[in-house]
Structure 1
Amino acid sequence: MVKKGPLFSFFAILIVLAIILSFATVPIIHNVKLGLDLKGGFEVLYQIKPLKAGQKIDSNTMSNAVAAINKRINVLGVSEPSISIENGNRIRVQLPGVKDEKRARQLLSTTAVLTFRDYKDNLMMDGSDLQPGKANVAFDQLNHPMVTLQLKDPARFASVTKKILAEAPNNVLVIWLDYQKGDSFLKEVSQKNHKFISAPQVSQVLNTTDVQITGMASVQEATNLKDLLNSGSLPVKMTEIYSDSVGAQFGQNSMTQTLFAGALGVAAILLFMLAFYRLGGLIADLTLVFYVYIVMSVFVGLQAVLTLPGIAALILGIGMAVDANIITLERIKDEIRSGKSILSAFKSGNQRALPTVVDANMTTIIAAGVLFSFGNSAVKGFAVMLLISNIITLITSVYGARLFLGLLIRSRALNDRPGLFGVRRSDIRE
């Protein structure tokens, strides 16, 4: 006689989960963060070196560098940047959706140390004398672009211009960006290779807070300088050691092709399970659907970035989830063939399969942990998805499938129906 309680529980749980998944689909899709290989963009890896002699590159220095880079990324308008510290002295920057790679490079790596010097290259003022965030683009009377700055102390500027006037006949105040030892104003002028930004001539003592940097070749050049000055100088020197860029169309094509191939693979798996394991395969297929939703929900909740390796790890996780179901269902079939009842076969089959399934997943979890610890960003993305997939596999494929199949078996609706598990009566030993 069929027990209605377990059967009712089975359908009730199924309906509730279906409703939850229907509401979760749109938020999951809209909140997935796509990596560079799927969305397109720019990635660069920097080696961090001391800016000044005696400077130590420690965790605090790296944190300050990341904060400065983040300010500059805000200027680029990137909505989902990724900045990570690697090996203690490297910084990896990923900028999805960035199209102007040249401008991004300039904004990220330019140290942006502004100095005011005389024609003998003596330091008169530096960026610390400026009001932070007050640089703006303006135009002179001839409509040429320039950058306007505001000083903190007008008296200090008056003192500087007074000293410049005393250095006749070269009454110039040279404005340098990222001045380096060995740079020379006179040498640059003689060789007509101007590394400095501007060299205005001082004709009188200026007791003002307003400073203008002229000589901008274009509005874009003035805008870049303004953005660099407003974002602040970098506390370290950054040397590019690796970069990569992916076009938006290429990334979109990669995602479309990968998802299509993945969908075909998953569909083939679902059909295989249904054909070979009948009812057990159907339950396995249901838990696989829940598995994908749970994995993506956790991934979105962690605000992780989905990449092509991440999609590969997700599909690999589906394969491992199927493997866990196959091990369990084959054990149950063996128990049925030995002459046990379906309920007894279900209990003993699950009990015998569990250690094998747990061991297989634990070894993969350990491997994923090693990949995450020592791999680069792409490998880390693969490892994160693989870790999440295997942990959830243990929940859905083992306990979830056991719950659903157990409710159906305990309802006694499957009594004396070994064919529902793919076992022929002729194969059952007396």
Structure 2
Amino acid sequence: MKARNGFVFTLSAIIIIVFAYLLMFGANLGPYYRFNAAKDLLKLGLDLRGGVYIEMEAVDKNVDQDALERARQMLELRVNNLGVAESTVAIAGGNRIRIEIPGISDAKAALEQVGRTGKLRFVGPDGKEEILTGSDVKDSTVGVDPQTNQPVVQLKLNEAGAKKFAEATKKYIGQPISIYMDEDLISSPTVQNEIPNGEAVITGMKDLDEAKRVAGIIKSGALPVKLQAATVRTIGPSLGAEAIPTSTKAAVIGVSLVMIFMLLYYRVPGFIADLALTVYIILTVLIFIGIKATLTLPGIAGMLLSIGMAVDANVLIFERIKEELKIGKSLKSSIDAGFHRALSSILDSNITTLIAGFVLYYLGSGSVKGFALTLILGVLTSMFTAITITRFMLKTFVNTGWIKNTKFYGA
């Protein structure tokens, strides 16, 4: 039994250390394969990477939220047409839309691209004949094809549009009629038969999100609300060039000092806490990569703060274990009682932090949301590692019988 626990503990520690090394330094297998998870997969925000930040504000203060969402979709289409990856277009609360375009420096050109009025056109197979415009579209909604159970876009045209569309669909059966917003191709469905009543269905949507996007753009015809630039600024990459190495250095120094303190003060439990803290950092980074979160400076601050929360939970547990050892309980009994007694304190402190994080996330915007998101994810992950990983590793180590003297456990 002791040999089995020794094997499990050693294997677990090796896996944790190997994953931590790969996350920090990556894998370098010569010229054919190089990989660094944190560097290659984490998305960096404007404050770290540089780019253009724009806030568009609706001129009408009482704008409908559905119209604002359609405007956001159209702006997103235009931003993507700039050829910039990892851009962000989001409703910033109230009547504003926030646009973040990393990696470019010409704010004027970006504003001209995203802020133009826009024109919707249905174009014939030759690419020149304009069949319909946005003024001919009465409505555009998302539906489901009853035969294939796939999402479709349902079009309704006004009287003038229905007449023009009937002539075009009769003429172009078996050929595509392309739908453009300005010069951006939205969809290019093939005409299956003549449509005389002004009600058409566009099939071939790969998923519901694409159907919603196409329907929203067609329904708008142009930007559904009049927008004006409220904030336009260029953020240079020099901030990121300085902030990334500085933040990395600060994080390494801070985490190292915490680990050394835990090891010297709590000895065996401190070593276990260091392993659990390493698991916490690995999980946090992997979660950020998995949800494709954008890392900003406030986000880094939230992550470092949650590291402190992770250590705090371990301190509560170890102090309770010390108290149990001092009254003469056995090592195994003290560990079980210590975790049980510390659980309520850990939950209380972390739940209050989570409440604050959720309030900041739902009421804040921009960098405040980034800070709140990393704090929430960090606190949840720290609770998991403190309650499960620390307990599993500590009990497994005690069961190895390698160190039985309670002095090494804080007594």
1:347 positional shift: 1.5
**2 CA distance for matches of 1:273 and 1:396?**
16
Aligned pairs for 1:143-154 within 5 A = 150-152=128-130
**2 CA distance for matches of 1:414 and 1:342?**
11
SS, match of residue 76 in structure 1: coil
Q: 2:408 — aligned with what?
A: 420
Q: 2:345 aligns with which of 350, 356, 368?
A: 356
Are 2:260 and 1:271 equivalent residues in the alignment? yes
- After superposition, the Cα gap between the structure-2 partners of 1:288 and 1:323, relative to the gap in structure 1 and judged at 3 Å, is same
- After superposition, the Cα gap between the structure-2 partners of 1:397 and 1:243, relative to the gap in structure 1 and judged at 3 Å, is farther
Are 2:263 and 1:257 equivalent residues in the alignment? no
**1 CA distance for matches of 2:232 and 2:270?**
46
1:233 positional shift: 4.1
**2 CA distance for matches of 1:311 and 1:246?**
18
Partners of 2:93 and 2:365 within 8 A in 1: no
SS, match of residue 239 in structure 1: strand
Q: 1:211-250: per-residue Cα shift (whole Å, max 9, x none)?
A: xxxxxxxxxxxxxxxx993148423211222334320122
- After superposition, the Cα gap between the structure-2 partners of 1:244 and 1:336, relative to the gap in structure 1 and judged at 3 Å, is farther
Q: 1:229 — aligned with what?
A: 182
State the TM-score, normalizing by the size of structure 1: 0.68
Aligned pairs for 1:323-334 within 5 A = 323-334=312-323
Aligned pairs for 1:156-171 within 5 A = none
Structure 1 residues without counterparts, runs of 5 or longer: 113-126, 135-148, 154-226, 424-430
Structure 2 residues without counterparts, runs of 5 or longer: 27-35, 132-179, 185-220
Q: 1:170 — aligned with what?
A: none
Q: 1:321 — aligned with what?
A: 310
Partners of 1:130 and 1:150 within 8 A in 2: no
Partners of 2:79 and 2:87 within 8 A in 1: yes
**What is the RMSD computed on CA atoms of the aligned residues?**
2.7
Which letter maps to 1:338? I
Are 2:389 and 1:400 equivalent residues in the alignment? yes
Are 2:334 and 1:345 equivalent residues in the alignment? yes
Highest CA radius of gyration, 1 or 2? 1
SS, match of residue 361 in structure 2: helix
**1 CA distance for matches of 2:235 and 2:248?**
18
**2 CA distance for matches of 1:17 and 1:245?**
41
Which letter maps to 1:418? T
1:108 positional shift: 1.7
State the TM-score, normalizing by the size of structure 2: 0.71
**2 CA distance for matches of 1:86 and 1:132?**
38
1:421 positional shift: 2.2
1:345 positional shift: 1.5
**2 CA distance for matches of 1:299 and 1:132?**
45
The alignment-based identity, stated in percent, is 33
**2 CA distance for matches of 1:338 and 1:131?**
85
Q: 2:116 — aligned with what?
A: 110
Q: 1:288-329: per-residue Cα shift (whole Å, max 9, x none)?
A: 111001011011111110000111111101111000111111
Q: 2:47 — aligned with what?
A: 37
1:94 positional shift: 0.8
1:348 positional shift: 1.3
1:103 positional shift: 0.6
SS, match of residue 236 in structure 1: coil
Partners of 1:129 and 1:151 within 8 A in 2: no
Q: 1:111-155: per-residue Cα shift (whole Å, max 9, x none)?
A: 24xxxxxxxxxxxxxx55684999xxxxxxxxxxxxxx94526xx
Which letter maps to 1:67? Q
